[in-house]
Structure 1
Amino acid sequence: MKVRPSVREAVADLGIGATQDLLRRAEEVTRFLPRLWQATEDILTSNPDITEVTEQISERY
C-alpha cells in the first residue's frame, strides 16, 4: 500500500518512523488503558448524574 507523504509526516510527528516504533507505541497505549479506565470509573462514580453513560458502559463490559 502506498502512503501519502503527508500521512507519513503526520505519523513521524507522533514519533513513529518504523514498524518497531508502532509496536512500541501500541504497547505503551495498552499499558496505559487500566489507568484510563480507573480515571473513567472515578469520574463516573463521583458524578451520579451521569447515568446514561454508566448504563451503556455496564452493558458493554
Structure 2
Amino acid sequence: MIRQGLFYVPFILVLPRLLGVTGIYLTQPAADLLTILVCLCSIRSMKRIASANMNRTPEGG
C-alpha cells in the first residue's frame, strides 16, 4: 500500500511526461526498486538501533 501511494502514483504522473510510453512501462519497476531501497535502508537503521541497545548495560543492575 505504501508503494502504491508514495511511489507508484507520482511515478505514473511524472515518468510518462519525461519518457513517453516507455515511462508507463517503467513505472512499476521503478516503484518496486525504490520500495526495495527504502526497505533496505530501514532494515539497516533498525539493526543499528537494535545493536546499540543490546550493547548498553542495564541501569541499577
TM-score w.r.t. the length of structure 1 is 0.39
Whichever structure has more helix as a proportion of its residues is: 2
Higher relative contact order, structure no. (Cα contacts within 8 Å, ≥ 6 residues apart): 2
TM-score w.r.t. the length of structure 2 is 0.39
Higher radius of gyration, 1 or 2: 2
